[in-house]
Structure 1
Amino acid sequence: MVASSCSLLLCFVGGILQYGYSSAVLLNFYNPERNAADLDKLLVLKEALTECVEMKSEPGVYKVTSTGEQLACGIFLVGALDAQVAIEFLEFDVDCKDDAVVGILDGWEQNGAIFPPVEDLGADGPRYLKHCGSDQPKSIFRSSGNMALVQYRLPYPGSTFTIRVSYSKNPRPCNAIVVSPEGKAAISNRGLAENCSVLSIYPQRFAFEYMDIGVSPVLKNLKEIIMEPELRSAKCSIKSIAVSEKRDYVEIRGGPSFDLTHMVPFKAQCGFSLNTAKESTSIMCGTTMVRLVSSGQYYNNVLFVHELLEEDKIDPDTFICAAL
């Protein structure tokens, strides 16, 4: 893993922290099999973190103590798809000298790009919190999605902080990162004018099982909806969405990083469809995303399954990024 002395949060001269992790490394950190007794113990025990880049998917108490290295480091936190991350500082002794600082990002960062996308969640305000000296964190930080990132630079030996990390049910799930290479995910805008995304750090094969996007919010009998041909399987191409300025659709993107502007929109759909899992879309890219775009005029919902796309499963219909 590679770290530099600067990051999106911590550098004051425009540098970017380069986290050189791979999908395989992240998967090794992920352990969804812990039982309740194990998790209770983790909340009591204090774990000293010694690596510059760590990933934690379980609740616990984590302590960082500086050895005086001039590095910007990070603790990547991620929970279940419908989880919310809570971070509480139990100890904090970080002087501001030599630009020492601890920062919290509502999301993840990779090579300068952040998720959830700036285009959807913004880039200012509570997304970035920085602390040092007398500016100690006094309240519990709660993420908007299932992920958060604690970044820090502690160049002065002996600087230290301790955090308690916990995960709870997210009252408004919208954006999420899936660490497991296969599973099922649902996205809903709850009738709000917000864009929600599920991001995967693997090449993926996607299949939509249920879709209700851009359909009139007026309640209808389910049988009546299914019988209407124009609603049953309305599909929108990338071109038709751009031409008609359709504001409610789901798209599948792929690219080399988290950066939305560098991810190619390979497919887009809207309307109503049920049990369409037989149709799948394969994306051979380092990062893939299912993104629900909503105007706030409709209750949009989509349910999809995803699985790891192996190289020997590539077929002529697979979308392939120019450079992985």
Structure 2
Amino acid sequence: MKAIVFLSFSLIVLSVKGWPMVKKSFDFFPNDAYAHIHVISDCMHVASEPGDYVFKKVPHLMANVKEMPLVEAALEESTSEVCGLYVIGEPDTIVEITMKHYDVNCATGGLMAFVDGWELNGEYFPGIKDHHRELEERVVEFCNNYKQWPRVANKKFFRSSQNAALLQYRIPFRGSFIAHVRFHKITQPCNVLVQDTAAIFNMANFGNQRNCTLTALFPAAVAVTSLKIGGKNVRGDKVNYDCGAFEDRLEIGGSSGLDSHAMEKASDVCGISEQQGPEQAIFCGVTTARLISTGRYQNHAAIMLRKADENDLDIATLVCAL
């Protein structure tokens, strides 16, 4: 949605099996077929559970509140506010969104968009320069063109490249949609948006030339618990915290937005170690660890991350401006 002002945010293996001769009726349905229905009531709705996410808007002046179903959100008429369903899963998952229904009229300015990742204040996770897909491929816009004949079936299907995805929508007058969310396990995660405030995360390039980011939307204390980055001439037999001149390295820093390229760096790490290193606190709205790999080495880093507080000021290596 290039012409839309995006909403702001205050930082706060699949195995194939043969079917038996007889199959029970309930086996025909996926495990989450009877998942809960979630009503979207906030303009920015963060979702981490599978199921149907339902939104319906009716013009405020025409709505009878007493008769309005639970799934209807009575908002002011003729608003052009852009809202979003922000979906986040476990680190080793990707997000699948199926549009089971959408009634968003193109002619009245209605518009929806699937974003492969998250967007906040015009910045994206994963960063534009770090994602393997171009931004034009990551953002898919759609709406209902009721002048088109024959009408095209409005069911759509999307999958993200990491554990975060976004469904944006602008519905000026009336409209509705039902988005079904599922999560699928993957074996080689690269970019991870953090929802846990205390956990150990593994980052690896699996021998590929790519950049991977671990991003937390809060100030965090970060410690490298094990590390193997770069060749022997770089690694030696210890951790090097001054690796800015090396192509393969782990950057740790923070920023006020999602773009990892705009972050202030606290350290550039490379080398080898099986022992936990010292903690460093990043007092920024967004904390990021970014693994940069040329593909010449099998790089790996295990990172312990937790939410930082005032007791961590003595280990602060970066404090961002407000």
After TM superposition, list the pairs within 5 Å mapping 1:171-250 onto structure 2.
171-215=187-231, 231-237=236-242, 241-242=244-245, 246-250=246-250
Paired letter, 2:221: R
Name the counterpart of 1:152. 169
Question: CA 1:265–1:43 in 2, change beyond 3 Å: closer, same or farther?
Answer: farther
Answer whether contact 1:92 1:136 (CA < 8 A) is retained.
Answer: no
Name the counterpart of 2:84. 74
Name the counterpart of 1:292. 291
Q: TM-score, normalised on structure 1?
A: 0.79
Deviation string, structure 1 residues 240-295 (Cα, Å, up to 9, x no partner): 533xxx211111011111123431011011121111x2422221111100100001
CA RMSD of aligned residues (A): 2.3
Secondary structure at the residue paired with 1:304? Answer: strand
1:50 pairs with 2:41: yes
**What CA distance in whole angstroms lies between the structure 2 residues aligned with 1:139 and 1:190?**
32
Name the counterpart of 1:318. 316
* Structure showing greater Rg: 2
Q: TM-score, normalised on structure 2?
A: 0.80
Answer whether contact 1:79 1:167 (CA < 8 A) is retained.
Answer: yes
**What CA distance in whole angstroms lies between the structure 2 residues aligned with 1:137 and 1:318?**
51
- Deviation for aligned residue 1:230: 5.2
- Deviation for aligned residue 1:48: 2.5
Name the counterpart of 1:309. 308
Secondary structure at the residue paired with 1:241? Answer: coil
**What CA distance in whole angstroms lies between the structure 2 residues aligned with 1:86 and 1:282?**
34
Percent identity (aligned): 28
- Deviation for aligned residue 1:187: 0.6
Answer whether contact 1:231 1:273 (CA < 8 A) is retained.
Answer: no
Name the counterpart of 2:67. none
1:17 pairs with 2:6: yes
Secondary structure at the residue paired with 1:118? Answer: coil
Answer whether contact 2:219 2:308 (CA < 8 A) is retained.
Answer: yes
Deviation string, structure 1 residues 52-106 (Cα, Å, up to 9, x no partner): 1100111010111123432110011001111111001111222211321110111
Answer whether contact 1:42 1:59 (CA < 8 A) is retained.
Answer: no
Secondary structure at the residue paired with 1:174? Answer: coil
Gaps of 5+ in 1: 1-8, 24-38, 217-227
Name the counterpart of 2:125. 115
**What CA distance in whole angstroms lies between the structure 2 residues aligned with 1:299 and 1:278?**
20
Deviation string, structure 1 residues 101-159 (Cα, Å, up to 9, x no partner): 110111111111111011101542431011112576655211111000100001131x1
Secondary structure at the residue paired with 1:313? Answer: helix
**What CA distance in whole angstroms lies between the structure 1 residues aligned with 2:137 and 2:36?**
30
**What CA distance in whole angstroms lies between the structure 1 residues aligned with 2:80 and 2:125?**
26
Paired letter, 1:92: Y
**What CA distance in whole angstroms lies between the structure 2 residues aligned with 1:49 and 1:288?**
28
1:124 pairs with 2:141: no
Question: CA 1:98–1:169 in 2, change beyond 3 Å: closer, same or farther?
Answer: same
After TM superposition, list the pairs within 5 Å mapping 1:79-98 onto structure 2.
79-98=89-108
**What CA distance in whole angstroms lies between the structure 1 residues aligned with 2:162 and 2:234?**
36
Paired letter, 1:307: R
Q: Which has the higher helix share?
A: 1
Secondary structure at the residue paired with 2:161? Answer: coil
Answer whether contact 1:43 1:164 (CA < 8 A) is retained.
Answer: no
Name the counterpart of 1:61. 52
Q: Which has the higher strand share?
A: 2
Paired letter, 1:319: T
**What CA distance in whole angstroms lies between the structure 1 residues aligned with 2:235 and 2:40?**
56
Gaps of 5+ in 2: 13-29, 59-76, 146-151
Question: CA 1:256–1:183 in 2, change beyond 3 Å: closer, same or farther?
Answer: same
- Deviation for aligned residue 1:164: 0.5
**What CA distance in whole angstroms lies between the structure 1 residues aligned with 2:195 and 2:165?**
13
Secondary structure at the residue paired with 1:66? Answer: strand
**What CA distance in whole angstroms lies between the structure 2 residues aligned with 1:43 and 1:102?**
26
**What CA distance in whole angstroms lies between the structure 2 residues aligned with 1:323 and 1:181?**
22
Question: CA 1:236–1:22 in 2, change beyond 3 Å: closer, same or farther?
Answer: closer
**What CA distance in whole angstroms lies between the structure 1 residues aligned with 2:192 and 2:53?**
23
**What CA distance in whole angstroms lies between the structure 2 residues aligned with 1:177 and 1:248?**
22
Name the count of aligned residue pairs. 279
Answer whether contact 1:43 1:61 (CA < 8 A) is retained.
Answer: no
Moved over 4 A (4+): 39-43, 134-139
